Amino acid sequence: MSQVGDDLTQVLALLVDEPRDVMVSESDEDVAPRLDVRVSDGDLGKVIGRQGRTARALRCVLAARSTHGERPWELKILDN
């Protein structure tokens, strides 16, 4: 896994109650690389946040991380 995926895993582990259930996988799409996130059912709301604010903030961090000439990362939060 890339450094971006490892960093996202660490951030998500701090947000949720069940850090062992955090799974981040990478897929390389034609448009942009994508990070797929899975957490336990009880922690899904914590990752999304009120009105999607936490998810939006995570996407902003990923966008800021890709300013060095990389393609921007997409974040997809998957429902179990």
Q: What is the pLDDT of residue 13?
A: 96
Q: For 51, how many CA atoms within 13 A lie in the half-sphere containing its CB?
A: 0
Amino acid, single-letter form, for residue 61: V
Q: What is the mean pLDDT of the chain?
A: 90
Whether pLDDT at 6 is above 90: yes
Chain position carrying tokens 């957490």: 39
* Global pTM value: 0.87
pLDDT at 29 over 80: no
Q: pLDDT tens digit string along 42-74?
A: 999 999 999 999 999 999 998 888 777 777 889
The domains located in the chain, with CATH, are 3-77 (3.30.300.20)
